[in-house]
Structure 1
């Protein structure tokens, strides 16, 4: 097994946790390489060990059998797109606060041993294709594991957003914006905005208004084959911002629309701990503890 260990250097100081995992996996017979999940910010001085050999993630993914991410949910989301496009399963080790998508905590590294012999199972997670159209022509495309978030970008105004499903308008929202989420993303921003919690292995699209100024505005759960379109009303001169999986926001105007559909790609998340989805939400989201 060739395993990539990709650690967020801002959370894993000195890459100590990643290096401990590297020692455990090599002792168990795995071939490992160390990568950073992203290019560090210019001017940042990172606490990295001297003489440490770091590889480029994009060069290692085509040859990898597994990717282990050390960080928070953002680190996993950042890696999900490229790992999925290469068919590489992901295992998350939580180095953040909640780390809802992470399978293990930093104190559970001994559970990594079976990975060296390929002894693990994966759970497939639905993803979204997110396309921006201008004048009927696609101008950008992205892949989301969690959500596509549309926001007004200003505290001083209210956004008016139309949500369509297969040529039928299903909502016109007055408020701060709208979220279109996967079941995996149902426990992220969508939940905070009042959306439902959905089992992550489900297949559906979740449309959640954000701070709507309407009593009738409610979250919707749509069947997975719907083509959801989010746009400003015709003639509206305001603008929206779109962020996919927490990435850099892009500005949308009245002449643009965003189409969101279930992707043919599915993220594979490794399961090792045996904890159920309901144990995780109760533990990490402050639910009932028996």
Structure 2
């Protein structure tokens, strides 16, 4: 090995490179072989180095209420979010990343900062990280490993945006009602998501790997070129008839306003002690639209489960005025009020006595928490309803707490109000999709597309024990 000063003289020292040289017989003889360099791979890079996000398309079907995932080109940047404080889950995330990297070397992996610091020494290739505000323009696909809370954490990273990447979720938590896949299925799950819309048909993973063959495209895909990154993929059979199915989960748009009518969403603070105690990132100036009063418009904060306003440690019941579409509905006297999505109907709202709603139903729910009046029952409203919650002047507590998906919170006092409405979804001018959280649904293992590919009923019976007989074990 040459001395470092000699290497530096010839410009051979470089950060991240280890340089090896063959033995030199004598100074007058040429080298036996040229220098070779190996990149130091166990490193963390900034997500800014990654290519821009690939926006998928979602197609409807006359035979299914779910959407079909269609990539215009293979996804490249994958955000992996494992459950916090679970070493076994973190180990599974490393296993998943290693497998995908070996089989699909063009895929880049992104982790949250604290997770990246834990796993980068276990991964023999570079990984990426960034603050949540920088993820939206880079992430093609999100993979979660954990329970429902992990999915909420993943969705909260995109809570200021109308477009959320598809989510592939593995159930590894205590309940996992939202998680579709078992982790032992990760090879099949990844294969289906990655190849979705590719029109490539190849042999099954259990058979010897063979060269990919292009399947006959559907009528609306005739003439479309096959992307080069798919042309040499080996493994499980896909094809244009087996695109991954997506359940689009509706969200709430939430705005918190002070007594002067000014949006104070920027003051929402994270609830988890595991996250940095920092405010939401400001809206970029180019995206700010002035209000009628000339003030900058703050982005809505999105919730996939619910918004809750509650009395917290206050000994008195909360008194909250509820308005729907500008009309006064009722004065609620209770521990609190929940405004939930159909997805959130199986969460806090269910525990408070709310109705269970299928996630495809376009509605939002108003559920009282321990109401004083026994006749105050949960309400279902159209998704586009505008709900306003105001602290009544009769409220004896000085401040109530507002929590959004359990991830962000703030305090509200008399004169302040919370405005909530359902997020509408639809196609964008460029053919993409805006609104909602697209969740990849587990497909039947035998590939029979005629089977019910919506696992909601199974989760309702198997996990929530719906209408479980009394006394049975």
TM-score with structure 1 setting the length = 0.88
- The answer to whether structure 1 residue 162 and structure 2 residue 321 are counterparts is yes
Deviation, 1:128, is 0.9
Pick one of 69, 73, 90 that aligns with 1:15.
Answer: 90
Q: Is the 8 A contact 2:177 2:459 kept in 1?
A: yes
Q: In 2, distance between residues paired with 1:115 and 1:26?
A: 15
Deviation, 1:51, is 5.2
Q: In 2, distance between residues paired with 1:231 and 1:199?
A: 29
Q: In 1, distance between residues paired with 2:354 and 2:372?
A: 16
Spell out the pairing of 1:1-290 with structure 2 (5 A cutoff).
1-2=75-76, 3-13=78-88, 15-29=90-104, 31-37=106-112, 39=114, 48=119, 50=121, 52=123, 53-56=126-129, 58=132, 59=134, 61-83=136-158, 85=161, 86-112=163-189, 113-118=191-196, 119-134=243-258, 135-140=260-265, 141-154=300-313, 156-234=315-393, 236-238=395-397, 239-264=399-424, 265-273=435-443, 274-287=453-466
User: Mean Cα displacement is larger for which, 140-149 or 6-15?
Assistant: 6-15
Return the structure number with greater strand share: 1
Deviation, 1:155, is 5.8
Quick one: structure 1 residues 143 and 261, their matched pair in 2 at CA, closer, same or farther if it must change by over 3 Å? same
Q: Deviations over 1:30-87 (max 9, x none)?
A: 64344434647xxxxx864625444225445423321111122122112214447354
Question: Gaps spanning 5+ residues in structure 1: where?
Answer: 41-45
Deviation, 1:243, is 0.5
Question: Gaps spanning 5+ residues in structure 2: where?
Answer: 1-74, 197-242, 266-299, 425-434, 444-452, 469-473
Q: In 1, distance between residues paired with 2:89 and 2:251?
A: 33
Q: Deviations over 1:126-150 (max 9, x none)?
A: 1111001112222214111110011
Deviation, 1:192, is 0.7
Taking CA–CA contacts closer than 8 Å with sequence separation of 6 or more, which of the two structures ends up with the larger relative contact order? 1
Q: In 1, distance between residues paired with 2:151 and 2:261?
A: 33
- What is the RMSD computed on CA atoms of the aligned residues? 2.5
TM-score with structure 2 setting the length = 0.56
Q: Greater CA radius of gyration, 1 or 2?
A: 2
Q: Deviations over 1:76-128 (max 9, x none)?
A: 11221444735411121122100111111233323322223234121111111
Q: Is the 8 A contact 1:150 1:241 kept in 2?
A: yes
